[in-house]
Chain A
Amino acid sequence: MTRIELVRRPQHSALFSVLSPFIAVLITALIGGIMFAMLGKSPIGGLYAYFIEPLTEIWSIHELIIKATPLILIAVGLSVCFLSNNWNIGAEGQFIMGAIAGSVMPVLYPGITGPMVLPLMLVMGMAGGAAWATIPAFLKARFGTNEILSSLMLVYVAELFLDWLVRGPWRNPEGFNFPETRSFHADAILPEMLSASGRAHYGFVFAILAALIVWFMLSRTLKGYEIRVLGESPRAGRFAGFSAKRMVFFAFIVSGALAGLAGIIEVSGAIGQLRPAISPGYGFTAIIVAFLGRLNPLGIVAAGLILALSYLGGEAAQISLGVSDKVANVFQGVLLFSVLACDTLIRYRVRFVSPQPAAAPEAVR
């Protein structure tokens, strides 16, 4: 069997830092093609349906932007977490809690209207997401509890809490017992940007703004430096006088607030009411977005658009090819695998070594 050997590069490869996401997308397309062939579909047709067709119509580009908005918002927050070595994988739960907290006004006080309702909803959404994220942050800082497991468990709790709300106390009194809240009134709806051509709302502007602000913080300020030092080496960070505990709170609160903002934007912009399921797994897909964007907020904007495309492509392919929309999830998983594998090229040269001494080792440089 061929063995893989890694040879550490003296210096990170700048070339592969740029190339690796593209190689990853290419590998994913290749595996996707093989998968379509195995399902008995034309690989080219399948890939076209997934990645090109949704871009051929204006309304569909609007949908793309709608789907990309939560992915970008959440992933930008996650980049702060992952760079500082805080593994928040409960963004899905923070998204839901943000949606719930942001919906308090239009659901419980539908009589209150006016231009201040929407800003208040957005702020409450951010607060809700941040508060939910503070729980694993507190447990990690105070007791050393593993944040991966605690933040993930809270996703299930948040989902059940939403389920209870929309079936119980928040159920629409005029809704024929459907498990959903009343529809938001006009002042609680995030307006559309170009309502003539499609549904895309102003949430996308928030996503771009968030990406720009976090990019500036990470690359130009002492705070960003602190985040990176603590992520690379907690001990060196302590030597520099940075507090790892405070960073746990900072990272979780920033990412929780952005996930919460994504939640209320999704509910107020795209759905218009609360339902038992308001997310097709945005909080988890955003993890892929964050890595595909190489934890750089500007890269994340591009990565968010690509993964939004896979959601749309999934819906499109279901109609045009008759394949399951679950294929999109497989694509996303394969993509993350490829991204992680390709990132190895940045730090190492990879050699494939055959056990026969005669065969010369091939080198990928």
Chain B
Amino acid sequence: MSPDVIQAILLTVVTAATPLLIAAMGELVVERSGVLNLGVEGMMIIGAVTGFGAAQITGSPWAGVLAAIVCGALFSLPFAVLTLSLATNQVATGLSLTLLGLGVAGMIGEQFVGLPGVRLEAIAIPGLVDIPLIGRLLFGQDPIFYLSILLAVGVWWFIFRTRAGLTLRAVGDSHGSAHALGINVLRVRYLAVMFGGACAGLAGAHLSLVYIPQWVENMTAGRGWIALALVVFASWLPLRVVIGAYLFGAVTIAQFHAQAQGVAIPSQFLSALPYLATIVVLVLISSNRRMTMRNTPASLGKPFVPDR
């Protein structure tokens, strides 16, 4: 294969990985605060449909990006109110957020079916983009890709280098102790959940403005769930989320290329690969008990009701 072909393939890998990376990075922050939000798929599809819609109506893809971020964050609010203020079961509430998101997006999106989309064009950084092999890969991408890299670095820096990040980790480790020290546990968690919603919304916008610039019902196709699995795979470390997202992007793309090359395996089996890969990865990571237990936020999934 020529270098150009390799670069083209790598480009598609990056594009497939970007929404996973963004959504997983958001969920990582949520889980670091001790909240398990299984509604990523729902918030993502809301981001996809509102992003597509806003871009359609205004003609500006950037309006779509903004709308997706805002709507993703807003859509996480019912989950936050229920699990944080009303101390409901996080698993069940997250599931219902996904079901609601898929329903609402289907309803809103009905009018968009078959419409041509607005594509968020790539921005080439002059000079750098001409570097052989990696130029286009790193410097000729869509803006959301650049955002995703900033996000990854930013989340790492926030969690491990800032005061607020320390507070976030403390709340996820023991909400009782954090409360005793005077940290406003619920406020930290509200902010974390909304940040996760905004990230999931942005990831959805990438799907409907960059990856496939059109609206297709259920177009997230389980990516929100794969993002959740990535957080477990990464054992709550931002750098490993990046690695995991690109690995999954590679599996997705390998499967497309195999289909395109006419490999003698039924296409459905190839399409099932990312889901099977998710399971395999989860098994590998969970059988390494020591590592996962050490990094799991200790209060993950437990409701917190302060004494008054």
Contacts and interface: CB of A to CB of B under 8 A. Distances in A.
A333 B96 contact: yes
A5 B186 CA distance: 11
B88 A160 contact: no
Given A153-B278, A340-B88, A344-B88, A164 B232 contact: no
B158 interface: no
Contact of A6 (B272, B282, B305): B305
B286 A149 contact: no
A13 interface: no
Given A145-B286, A161-B272, A340-B89, A288 B96 contact: yes
B279 A348 contact: no
A146 B226 CA distance: 12
A31 to B, nearest CB: 11
Nearest to A343: B88
B92 interface: yes
B132 interface: no
B82 A340 contact: yes
A153 to B, nearest CB: 4
Nearest to B287: A143
B229 A139 contact: no
Contact of B102 (A7, A146, A329, A334): A329
Contact of B268 (A139, A149, A164): A164
Contacts of B149: none
Given A145-B286, A344-B86, A150 B103 contact: no
Given A149-B225, A157-B272, A326-B103, A340 B96 contact: yes
A139 B285 CA distance: 12
A284 B225 CA distance: 14
Contact of A146 (B95, B96, B100, B232): B232
B276 A139 contact: no
A214 B286 CA distance: 32
Interface in A310-365: 324, 326-334, 336-337, 340-341, 343-344, 347-348, 350
Contacts of A139: 279, 282-283, 286
A153 B41 CA distance: 13
A160 B107 contact: no
A235 interface: no
A4 B103 contact: no
Given A146-B232, A326-B106, A330-B100, A337 B268 contact: no
A300 interface: no
A24 to B, nearest CB: 12
Contacts of A157: 272, 275-276
A4 B87 CA distance: 11
Interface residues of B, number: 46
Interface residues of A, number: 51
- Chain B contact residues: over half helix, strand or loop, or mixed? helix
Given A146-B232, A327-B107, A329-B103, A341 B279 contact: no
Contact of B286 (A8, A143, A148, A152): A143
B305 A153 contact: no
Contacts of B81: 4
A337 B82 contact: yes
A354 to B, nearest CB: 15
B222 interface: yes
Given A8-B305, A336-B96, A87 B91 contact: yes
Interface in B239-290: 266, 268-269, 271-272, 275-276, 278-279, 282-283, 286-287, 289
B103 A5 contact: no
B93 interface: yes
A141 to B, nearest CB: 11
B308 interface: yes
Contact of A153 (B97, B279, B287): B279
A254 to B, nearest CB: 19
Contacts of A73: none
A333 B102 CA distance: 9
Interface in B4-48: 38
A152 B99 contact: no
A59 interface: no
B78 interface: yes
B228 interface: yes
Nearest to B308: A5
A161 B268 CA distance: 7
Contacts of B289: 144
Contact of B225 (A4, A153, A347): A153
B104 interface: yes
Contacts of A350: 86
Contact of B86 (A3, A149, A164, A341): A341
Contacts of A87: 91
Contacts of B38: 148
A132 interface: no
A342 to B, nearest CB: 9
A355 B289 CA distance: 46
A63 B87 CA distance: 38
A287 interface: yes
Give the most central of A153, A324, A334: most B CB within 10 Å.
A153
A146 B282 contact: yes
Interface in A121-153: 139, 143-146, 148-150, 152-153
Contact of B279 (A154, A163, A330): A154
Given A89-B95, A328-B103, A329-B107, 4 more contacts: A145-B282, A152-B222, A288-B96, A336-B100
10 contacts: A4-B85, A148-B91, A152-B225, A156-B275, A287-B95, A324-B107, A326-B103, A329-B106, A340-B92, A340-B96
